[in-house]
Structure 1
Amino acid sequence: MDSIKNRRTIRKYTEQDIPADLLDSLLEESFRASTMGNMQLYSVVVTRDPEMKAKLAPAHFNQPMVTSAPVVLTFCADYNRFSLWCRQRKAEPGYDNFMSFINAASDTLLVTQNFCTLAEASGLGICYLGTTIYDPARIIQILNLPKLVMPVATITVGYPDEHPDQPDRLPLRAIVHEETYKDYTPAMIDDIYAYKEALPENKHFVEINHTETLAQIFTDIRYTKSDNESMSANLIEVIKKQGF
């Protein structure tokens, strides 16, 4: 698909709204994704109201696309609906555990990617917000998510108002392992990351951040050990509070 080969993240959108029938069609098609035991362990909260988007924005570090996109979609791992059905059919569910959360989260991410692919093929632009798992408690409160429902991914959607450069990707040889995993030698690491490190924009990042290497921007500035440990503890606590 050309839309996959040429995809790029869109953070600026026109004021054109997304017709409800188009959004519903894309969501319904996305639900054809593979799913654990055909249980469809996910729900999607559609946010169009400007006041609701403004409430969600702080949970996503106030990234401007949260309020400027016509639609914000919060994809949630959901064992609530299936558990309610079980109990109404004289079956006692046992899904208040971490394994069930992983199953539901996997279902959710499969659907999320399906939706993104379909939306981009339809001429829409999307931005995946990894911040959803940084502050899930706030999102749970705003969206009124019950026990056994956990936000996993947020997507902003709209008609593109920009055409940014396509971001780089690692070469095939960096990622594909034949038969068994072959660990990387120092020479292989140098080869794999040479293109990324040589990009002018990445050299500029190193310069303006006063680091010696591009890797240090990730480890020392963007995704630090202390931040990851703090957010990990918070995420585990919220997952437990949501009943998993």
Structure 2
Amino acid sequence: MDSIKNRRSIRKYKQDEIPASLLNDLLEEAFRASTMGNMQLYSVVVTRDKQMKEKLAPAHFNQPMVTGAPVVLTFCADFNRFSKWCRARKAEPGYDNPISFLNAATDALLVTQNFCTLAEEHGLGICYLGTTIYNPDQIVEILQLPELVMPVATITVGYPDECPSQVDRLPVQGLLHDEVYHDYSVEDIDRIYAYKESLPENHRFIEENQKETLAQVFTDVRYKKADNEYMSGILKATLKKQGFEK
């Protein structure tokens, strides 16, 4: 599919509405994704209302595409629905644990990727927001998610109003391992990251952040240890609040 080979994240959208019929059809097709035990352990919250998008924006560090996109989709790991079905059928569920969260999160992410691929094939633009797992507590409150429901991915969707350059990807040889995992030598790392480190935009990135290497931009600026530990605490607390941790 050309839409996969040519894909890029879209952060600026036209204000044309996405027809509800198209969005529903794409989601219905996305729901054909593989799923643990055919349980479909996910739910999707569709946000079109301007005020609701404004409420969600701070949870996503006020990235402008949250309020600028016609539609924001929050994909959730959901064992609530299945557990209620179990109890209604004289079966006692045991899904208040981390492995159940991981199963439901995997289901939700498979559906998320299916939707993104389908949306782009139909001429829509999307942007994946990793901030969902940074501030899950805020999203839980805003979207009124009950116990055993946890947000895992947010996608902004709309008709593109930009065509940014594609970002680089590591060479396929650096990602594949035949039969078993082959650990990387220093020479392997140099070869795999050579192209990324050679790009002018990444050289500018280093200069703007006053660092010596591109790796330092990631470790010291973008994804710092202290931030990771802080947000890990929020994630653990929210998993407990939502019933996936005892």
TM bin, normalised by shorter chain, reads over 0.9
1:211 Cα deviation from its structure 2 partner = 0.4
1:22 Cα deviation from its structure 2 partner = 0.1
Counterparts of 1:237 and 1:142 in 2: how far apart (Å)? Answer: 17
Aligned position for 1:213: 213
Q: Is 1:160 aligned with 2:141?
A: no
Aligned position for 1:112: 112
Aligned position for 1:193: 193
Aligned position for 1:243: 243
Deviations 1:160-190 (A, max 9, x none): 0000000000001110000010011101100
Q: Is 1:44 aligned with 2:44?
A: yes
1:29 Cα deviation from its structure 2 partner = 0.1
Counterparts of 1:194 and 1:163 in 2: how far apart (Å)? Answer: 26
Counterparts of 1:89 and 1:208 in 2: how far apart (Å)? Answer: 60
Aligned position for 1:74: 74
Question: What SS does structure 1 have at the residue aligned with 2:29?
Answer: helix
Q: How many positions carry a matched residue from both structures?
A: 244
Superposed, 1:1-244 pairs within 5 Å as 1-244=1-244
Structure 1: 5+ residue runs without aligned partners?
none
Please tell me the root mean square deviation across aligned C-alpha atoms, in Å: 0.4
1:207 Cα deviation from its structure 2 partner = 1.0
Letter in 2 for 1:200: P
Counterparts of 1:137 and 1:189 in 2: how far apart (Å)? Answer: 37
Deviations 1:90-109 (A, max 9, x none): 00000000010000000000
Counterparts of 1:207 and 1:67 in 2: how far apart (Å)? Answer: 31
1:233 Cα deviation from its structure 2 partner = 1.2
Question: What SS does structure 2 have at the residue aligned with 1:28?
Answer: helix
- Aligned sequence identity (%): 74
Letter in 2 for 1:145: L
TM-score of the superposed pair, with normalisation by structure 1: 1.00
Letter in 1 for 2:75: F
Deviations 1:99-126 (A, max 9, x none): 1000000000000000000000000000
Counterparts of 2:86 and 2:106 in 1: how far apart (Å)? Answer: 21
Deviations 1:62-91 (A, max 9, x none): 000000100000000000000000000000
Counterparts of 1:227 and 1:154 in 2: how far apart (Å)? Answer: 20
1:9 Cα deviation from its structure 2 partner = 0.2
Letter in 2 for 1:113: Q
Counterparts of 1:203 and 1:110 in 2: how far apart (Å)? Answer: 34
Question: What SS does structure 2 have at the residue aligned with 1:10?
Answer: coil
1:208 Cα deviation from its structure 2 partner = 1.3
TM-score of the superposed pair, with normalisation by structure 2: 0.99
Counterparts of 1:89 and 1:188 in 2: how far apart (Å)? Answer: 55
Counterparts of 1:209 and 1:43 in 2: how far apart (Å)? Answer: 39
Question: What SS does structure 2 have at the residue aligned with 1:205?
Answer: helix
Structure 2: 5+ residue runs without aligned partners?
none
Letter in 1 for 2:102: I
Counterparts of 1:236 and 1:209 in 2: how far apart (Å)? Answer: 31
Letter in 2 for 1:203: H
